[in-house]
Amino acid sequence: MVKNTLNIGRISEGFVLDHIQAGKSMDIYKYLRLDKLDCCVAIIKNAKSNKMGKKDIIKIECPLEMIDLDILGFIDHNITVNIIENEKIVDKMSLKLPKKITNVIRCKNPRCITSIEQELDHVFILTDPEREEYRCKYCEEKYHRK
Partner 1 sequence: MRHLMSPLDFSVEELDKLLDLANDIENNPAKYAHACAGKKLATLFYEPSTRTRLSHEAAMLNLGGSVLGFSSADSSSAAKGESVSDTIRTVACYADIVAMRHPKEGAPMVAAAHSSIPIINAGDGGHQHPTQTLTDLLTIRSLKGRLNNLTIGLCGDLKFGRTVHSLIQALVRYDNLNFVLISPEELRLPTYIRHDVLRRNNVPYKEVVRMEEALPDLDILYMTRVQKERFFNEEDYVRMKDFYILDKKKMELASKDMLVLHPLPRVNEISVEVDDDPRAVYFKQAKYGVYVRMALILTLLDIHVD
Residues engaged in binding partner 1 (CB under 8 A):
109, 111-118, 120, 128, 136-142
Nearest-approach distance from CB 144 to partner 1, in angstroms: 13
Do 111 and 125 meet the contact criterion of CB atoms below 8 Å apart? no
φ, ψ of residue 64 to 5 degrees: the values are -60, -30
DSSP 3-state of 123: strand
Partners of 61 in the beta sheet?
A: 14, 40
How are strands ordered across the β-sheet holding 133-136?
100-102, 123-128, 133-136
Query: Which one, 19 or 137, has the nearer CB to partner 1?
Result: 137
Query: Which one, 1 or 116, has the nearer CB to partner 1?
Result: 116
Query: Which one, 12 or 103, has the nearer CB to partner 1?
Result: 103
Nearest-approach distance from CB 119 to partner 1, in angstroms: 8
Partners of 133 in the beta sheet?
A: 128
Nearest-approach distance from CB 111 to partner 1, in angstroms: 5
- Give the separation between CA 83 and CA 80, rounded to whole angstroms: 10
Query: Which one, 87 or 128, has the nearer CB to partner 1?
Result: 128
Nearest-approach distance from CB 112 to partner 1, in angstroms: 5
